[in-house]
Structure 1
Amino acid sequence: MFLTLSMTAALALGAEGKWTPQQVLQQGPAWVKQQGFSLPLSKLWDEKAQGGLLANAVQLPGCSGSFVSKDGLLITNHHCIVSILQEHSTPEHNLTKDGFLAKTQADEKQSKAYRVLVPRRFLDVTKDVLDDLPNNPDDLARYKSVEATGKKLVANCEKQPNTRCTFAVFDGGLFFTLTEFTELSDARLVYAPPVAVGDYGGEVDNWTWPRHTGDFSLIRIYQNGKPYQPKYFFPLSKDGVKENDAVAVLGYPGSTFRAQLADEMAERQSRWYPNVRAITAEWQRIMDEEGAKSPEALIACADDLRSILNVKKNAEGQLAGLKRGRIIEKQRAHEEKVKAFIAKKPELAPALDAYKGLQDLNVERAASWDRDFLLDMTNRSARGLQWPLLIARRSWEAKLPDAEREPGYQERDVVRLREKHERDQKRYAQQLDQRLFVSWVKRALALPNGQRSVTIDFVFKDLKTDAAIEKKVAALYANSKIFDLETRKAMFDESIEQLKARKDALVDLGLGLDAERRALRDRRDAFSGRVLKLRPIWRRAVIASEGKPIAPDANSTLRVSFGRVKGYSPREAVMMTPHTTLAGVMAKDTGEEPFDVPQRIRDVYARGGAEKVPVDFLADLDTTGGNSGSPVIDAKGRLVGVNFDRVWENVANDFGYNPDVARNVTADVRYLLWLLENVEGAPELAKELTTAR
């Protein structure tokens, strides 16, 4: 069943808004037609049949994707399968650089740890959550109650075979959903272009337009040893789209912040993004230097480096966009309008207290901000930090009843955690890792009084120079067994007492830091409990003041955005058209990275006739991180491209939608077809992609 929200009947324009499937159904066929779509609403989703095209928006690790053939062929971005390329790369055969094509199904390369989730049911569980709340709970009890209900719902849902279920909170507790997925764990690499196609332009072109990147890849999903037979798939369109054509993007956007208060946005502007920019710039430099020294290190950091570069440039774009768009000032003005509306509606008066409570909470969070930020960044830092922390947390949680464990460390998660051990071994290079570890430790040692890490201060006490810190870290690495995969696997199943008995200083450091992270989690759980009480009260007042449906912030659940193919003007006297072609690719070719066109493409292009091959296009679809690989379909439900980026002027749309510059970047599937047919010598694969059921 689909949830029903209390909303006005007013039709909302497309473009702005990452709409839940439930909202699309609720706004009805007239609204969908208004977006330019001739498809009947039941084709998107039929509630009675529990099926529709939305079921072909599948969730991948950190990305989205869609099936494109009856035999389990799935399309996503090139950058979404770098982990698979990395898994099968060696210094002699570096697939992350050279790409890969399986000539037959027997040649496809299986991943050890890549899971695909196919949605099959969406449930409103708001009543379940509210019914389970105790009377007058304090902040922590409220959070724990909601978390416990979510775990219970997920556990019951996952009693079905091959099922993964996710519980989601919308806008701080406005409503709650449960999504039921079919989980598929046998993914095999079919095609990835060389990096000189899949990441053409690199960081120079990232978040910009015009763009000339073939950011696509193909994997095949298997079930019981045979190609998976999806109920729905998108045939690729050879017709493409032209300016002002209707399009839609379906996927799993990660996080946006439009429901935040201006004060909360200001914290991200003044603290979060500057700190992210600084630490990722330092880690990028380290990875670049070590990758230049060692082919092994280059492969080990391939996926991490691409992620770090993207995060850094995103932070820069968010800062520029927040300032350029005066987004925080506009949010403050909007809040004043909402408060004026509330003043005329006595029944909404509690929203003013909720607003003040959220402001006070933001101040409280700032007290330990610097330390909390560094503890969070351990998840992106050295494996010498990540692995001890993962093992320490696993040991702590394993002694608890499953229902009381932190999400991510329950029995349902153990297989994934074991897979992470296997996958991450290929991402480890000792000298690179030690330098990343030193970078993090030096920042921890520079924390102000009152925010110090007890663990780091104890381990690195009295060390005042960089050389002394580096020597200490080198000793920790040299004397630890955690970098041996088999030993680390054994540690994964050991108790805290057994880990301590090893007298491994790096493992002990992980146990100490994990205690600090658990204390941070407890504080945040209480904060989240207060948000669950206050945010819904404020958001209901905001929605009432708007008088129309509002799409909730992204939270990694399935969303749909409707829009049009459009160019834009980034500044005065400059107009960007919405399409790029192979001629533009060749015009950028310098013969050097990141603009080094593969020779075989140059050779085919030199024959003539390929100048107008479509490469990328723009639309005003509302996207964010997590939408990478999302299918972009035309008004007939055919796949015309895969989303992979936004323009620079649109990075800060996570905080507010600006129709003048809100443009996403999509890789045109006709470029993929041209490559397969004319460059890669894979006409049968191209035929599979364009064959309808």
Structure 2
Amino acid sequence: MKKTLLLLSLVAAPALAGEGKWTPQQVLELDPAWLKAQGLQVSPKRLWDPKRGTGLLAGAVNVGGCTGAFIAESGLVITNHHCAFSIIQEHSTPQRDLLTQGFLAKGREEELPGKGARVQVPRSFTDVTKEMLAAVPEGADDLSRQKSLERKDKELVAACEKRPATRCKVASFDGGLRYVLIDSVELADVRLVYAPPRAVGEYGGEVDNWMWPRHTGDFAIIRAYVAPDGSAAQYNAQNVPYKAEFFFPLATEGVKPDDFVMVLGYPGTTFRALLADEMAERQARYYPRLIDVYGELIRILEEEGAKDPAGKIAVASNLKSMHNRYKNAGGQLAGLKRGSLVEKQRAAEAAVVAWAEKRKESAGALKARTELLAQQAEKAKTFEREFLLDVLKASVKGPSLAVTLVRLSQERAKPDLERKPEFMDRELPRLKDRLEREQKNFFAPADKRMFLALVRRAQTLGESERIAAVDKLFGRTYAEKEVSAKIDALYTASKVLDLTERQKMSGETEAQLRARKDPLLDFGFDLAAEVVALDELRDRRAGASARLFPEWRRAVLAQAGKPVAPDANSTLRVTFAKVKGYSPRDGAFYTPQTTLAGVMEKHTGEEPFDVPDKVAAAAEAKRYGPWVDARLKDVPVNFLADADTTGGNSGSPTVNGKGQLVGVNFDRVWENVSNDFGYNPDVARNVNVDVRYVLWLLDQVEDADALLRELGIRKGPKAQERR
């Protein structure tokens, strides 16, 4: 490694159990004797080699918003069913519904390529704090500050990505207190190997989502491929499996209560460093509004999807994502209230203020906090407009695609380093994939109804929060028949929603797009103008935050006097845990494991508790094979641990002290959803698929002999049987 990032000097290691999403470099600062006492049986230096900047932790890979883990040298990756959902959906039709039926490739030639699917394997981490901060001119205002930081970010990434098949990013820690350049190799040929039926991968559906006890087989197996010479390459029939340096063998003995485990992965975003007022805003406005708006959109998708088999498949991915965010928001609100998290943050903040007031050197931190509070109050004035504009440009395919095409034409006219990051040349292949893939997610009746619902909401906004593009096209007062007729006409006359035409548009200039006189594009131009203005406003806010927040954060860390892990930011982390049950409420205790018998107890024959016939047959015949747990006298299905996880940890490998995979993380319990704002050891529990359930399904249900041999579970020839 060129330079090692040590965010904190970690001492008093026993205080770290459970809480903390630690960077690979921080692991090396933990007391090895303490780690050994917890249950780690490999050397910490096997987890991460500071000289090479890699190690066993690099067996956990980024699979695009989720985590996966290599489980064989031959490029096999295990992740969640819901993380591989887009590949399964891509190859599903009403005639061959892989979502419902599941999929098993009998040989490598049957594995299904995923459009736009990627696997990123971490290679090195470099501290670039000095370079980033030096890029900000003396006396720069907040907008210039942000643009300077963004420019330097892009320059560092561009230099890093001169190596072929490389994906780099600059990650900010503690709001700009530290910056780290992360270098990963990107594998662009990713294929589906196995997915269980949806009634296994989503067993319990939204009823059980975020709940315990759980009985869900939320896993899938994919494979990464490279060119014959070992270099990363796009899909080609001649490609060969990627040879993984680090992978996690499957621990056939599984886990038992109180066992030590580690969860490795790429947790997305947590909010533990927010000011109390910022937390209060999310509690009072953001989550309630999300529940309100998404609740309506979910109803629309469900109603329209139920009318048409093809429509049901088309809306499935968006519906799944919205359901997850909707229920998460409810859990956040319940947890914030139950744990009094805003009040606790306010008290903790007051303690830092009191500490800082006694130290002259901390005057800057107090001034920074005052400015941050003022910025939060100002932002609250336009909350409703910004929230609705974000939903409109992201959730409704018509406007979303139109805005993307318009922005692409405008940004492509600029030099690459002057574009917004999402429109740089490095992102164009992903944009192209998205513009194509969205056709699979588009169902006109549902899309038009969602558009109608959001226009209705936009036309009720206050005078200072109007969305001009909506007012221009639909007027300032809502009349359902008229608005609906305009949306119908818009979609009928537009070519944006035709895949072939959209692909042509993606290469056209702004002038060429305007010359088309396409009504949906015209709306996209008007909406894009407001998006650009909002982007600039948010850049100014981000510049202010980058100036102020590190100053405040230094005081917080100094006052704490103990290790404090930085908030999650989609970078590689590890959390140490034990397999544990918990008490959700007075008088109740949940054990940490569920079994196959529990799956069948929930079986009603109707969604979301409809066990597939082949699974039910094996369970009822008690064909447990070698996967029965002697203590439970049954096949374990899911288990709990007190790991510190969040979104992005979906698909994370849960491994034992030997570095063997014992499970796949896929959820948190309802009482722990608000873990994003603060860790509570009493209820902080993550939910994992037990590796023995994975193996039972492959062995006793699917008879996936060749795959089991490749995984080293059955003896005999491996690779040749998978060709």
1:575 matched to which residue of 2?
Answer: 589
Residue 34 of structure 1: how far off its partner (Å): 4.9
TM-score normalized with structure 1 length: 0.98
Contact 1:463-1:469 at 8 Å conserved across structures = no
Q: 1:447 to 1:208 in 2, by over 3 A?
A: same
Which residue of 23, 39, 56 corresponds with 2:59? 56
Which residue of 602, 623, 632 corresponds with 2:654? 632
Residue 144 of structure 1: how far off its partner (Å): 1.2
Matches of residues 534-553 of structure 1 in structure 2 within 5 Å?
Answer: 534-553=548-567
Contact 1:96-1:302 at 8 Å conserved across structures = no
- Residues 266-310 of structure 1 deviation map (CA, whole Å, 9 limit, x = unaligned): 110111101111111111101111111001111101111110000
Residue 379 of structure 1: how far off its partner (Å): 4.5
1:604 matched to which residue of 2?
Answer: 618
- Residues 110-141 of structure 1 deviation map (CA, whole Å, 9 limit, x = unaligned): 11210110101111111111222211221111
Contact 1:248-1:632 at 8 Å conserved across structures = yes
- Residues 143-187 of structure 1 deviation map (CA, whole Å, 9 limit, x = unaligned): 111111110110000000110001111121111111111100111
- Residues 303-324 of structure 1 deviation map (CA, whole Å, 9 limit, x = unaligned): 1111000000000000111111
2:473 matched to which residue of 1?
Answer: 459
Q: 1:423 to 1:120 in 2, by over 3 A?
A: same
Residue 672 of structure 1: how far off its partner (Å): 0.8
Paired with 2:89 and 2:491, the residues of 1 have a C-alpha distance of: 24
2:7 matched to which residue of 1?
Answer: 5
Which amino acid is the alignment partner of residue 379 of structure 2?
R
1:77 matched to which residue of 2?
Answer: 80
Which amino acid is the alignment partner of residue 3 of structure 1?
L
Paired with 1:31 and 1:124, the residues of 2 have a C-alpha distance of: 27
Matches of residues 420-435 of structure 1 in structure 2 within 5 Å?
Answer: 420-435=434-449
- Residues 562-621 of structure 1 deviation map (CA, whole Å, 9 limit, x = unaligned): 111000000011000000010100111111110011111121122225461010000000
SS at match of 1:378: helix
Paired with 2:120 and 2:361, the residues of 1 have a C-alpha distance of: 43
Q: 1:464 to 1:279 in 2, by over 3 A?
A: closer
Contact 2:9-2:29 at 8 Å conserved across structures = no
Which amino acid is the alignment partner of residue 346 of structure 1?
K
Contact 2:10-2:26 at 8 Å conserved across structures = no
2:114 matched to which residue of 1?
Answer: 111
SS at match of 1:651: helix
SS at match of 2:223: strand
1:299 matched to which residue of 2?
Answer: 313
Paired with 1:280 and 1:349, the residues of 2 have a C-alpha distance of: 43
Paired with 2:711 and 2:411, the residues of 1 have a C-alpha distance of: 45
- Residues 243-269 of structure 1 deviation map (CA, whole Å, 9 limit, x = unaligned): 111111111111110000100001101
Matches of residues 219-368 of structure 1 in structure 2 within 5 Å?
Answer: 219-224=222-227, 225-368=239-382
Which residue of 82, 88, 93 corresponds with 2:91? 88
Q: 1:663 to 1:235 in 2, by over 3 A?
A: same
- Residues 456-515 of structure 1 deviation map (CA, whole Å, 9 limit, x = unaligned): 101002663211111110000000011111111111111211111111111011111111
Which residue of 181, 184, 191 corresponds with 2:194? 191
Q: 1:262 to 1:462 in 2, by over 3 A?
A: closer
* Residue 667, structure 1, aligned to residue 689, structure 2: yes
Which amino acid is the alignment partner of residue 269 of structure 2?
S
Consecutive unaligned residues of structure 2, counting only runs of 5 or more, are 228-238, 625-632, 719-723
* Residue 529, structure 1, aligned to residue 529, structure 2: no
1:653 matched to which residue of 2?
Answer: 675
SS at match of 1:349: helix
Paired with 2:116 and 2:155, the residues of 1 have a C-alpha distance of: 26
SS at match of 2:463: coil
Paired with 2:362 and 2:38, the residues of 1 have a C-alpha distance of: 33
Paired with 2:563 and 2:22, the residues of 1 have a C-alpha distance of: 10
2:427 matched to which residue of 1?
Answer: 413
2:629 matched to which residue of 1?
Answer: none
Contact 2:11-2:31 at 8 Å conserved across structures = no
Residue 677 of structure 1: how far off its partner (Å): 0.7
Paired with 1:659 and 1:682, the residues of 2 have a C-alpha distance of: 39
2:627 matched to which residue of 1?
Answer: none
- Residues 617-655 of structure 1 deviation map (CA, whole Å, 9 limit, x = unaligned): 000000111110011100110001111000000000100
Paired with 1:5 and 1:95, the residues of 2 have a C-alpha distance of: 45
Residue 79 of structure 1: how far off its partner (Å): 0.3
2:235 matched to which residue of 1?
Answer: none
Paired with 1:662 and 1:251, the residues of 2 have a C-alpha distance of: 17
Residue 17 of structure 1: how far off its partner (Å): 1.0
* Residue 170, structure 1, aligned to residue 192, structure 2: no
Paired with 1:598 and 1:139, the residues of 2 have a C-alpha distance of: 57
Paired with 2:433 and 2:352, the residues of 1 have a C-alpha distance of: 48
2:21 matched to which residue of 1?
Answer: 18
Residue 326 of structure 1: how far off its partner (Å): 0.6
Which residue of 393, 396, 415 corresponds with 1:382? 396
SS at match of 2:224: strand
1:204 matched to which residue of 2?
Answer: 207
Residue 8 of structure 1: how far off its partner (Å): 6.1
Paired with 1:7 and 1:455, the residues of 2 have a C-alpha distance of: 52
Paired with 2:58 and 2:593, the residues of 1 have a C-alpha distance of: 29
1:449 matched to which residue of 2?
Answer: 463
Paired with 1:98 and 1:14, the residues of 2 have a C-alpha distance of: 41
- Residues 382-413 of structure 1 deviation map (CA, whole Å, 9 limit, x = unaligned): 11011001101101111111101111110000
C-alpha RMSD of the superposition? 1.4
Consecutive unaligned residues of structure 1, counting only runs of 5 or more, are none
Paired with 1:223 and 1:628, the residues of 2 have a C-alpha distance of: 25
Q: Higher mean Cα deviation, 582-591 or 443-452? A: 443-452
Which amino acid is the alignment partner of residue 211 of structure 2?
T
* Residue 563, structure 1, aligned to residue 566, structure 2: no
SS at match of 2:583: strand
Paired with 1:134 and 1:184, the residues of 2 have a C-alpha distance of: 37
* Residue 142, structure 1, aligned to residue 156, structure 2: no
Q: 1:379 to 1:230 in 2, by over 3 A?
A: farther
Paired with 1:320 and 1:97, the residues of 2 have a C-alpha distance of: 33
* Residue 160, structure 1, aligned to residue 174, structure 2: no
Paired with 2:615 and 2:103, the residues of 1 have a C-alpha distance of: 15
SS at match of 2:421: coil
Q: Higher mean Cα deviation, 372-381 or 180-189? A: 372-381
Matches of residues 584-595 of structure 1 in structure 2 within 5 Å?
Answer: 584-595=598-609
Which amino acid is the alignment partner of residue 136 of structure 1?
G
Paired with 2:401 and 2:34, the residues of 1 have a C-alpha distance of: 50
Paired with 2:134 and 2:6, the residues of 1 have a C-alpha distance of: 17
Which amino acid is the alignment partner of residue 325 of structure 1?
G
Contact 1:115-1:187 at 8 Å conserved across structures = yes
Contact 2:25-2:48 at 8 Å conserved across structures = no
Residue 343 of structure 1: how far off its partner (Å): 2.4
Which amino acid is the alignment partner of residue 306 of structure 2?
A
Paired with 1:171 and 1:99, the residues of 2 have a C-alpha distance of: 42
Paired with 1:300 and 1:8, the residues of 2 have a C-alpha distance of: 49
Which amino acid is the alignment partner of residue 524 of structure 2?
G
SS at match of 1:426: helix
Q: 1:677 to 1:352 in 2, by over 3 A?
A: same
1:681 matched to which residue of 2?
Answer: 703
- Matched pairs, number: 693
- Residues 509-540 of structure 1 deviation map (CA, whole Å, 9 limit, x = unaligned): 11111110110010111111111111111111
Which residue of 385, 398, 418 corresponds with 1:404? 418
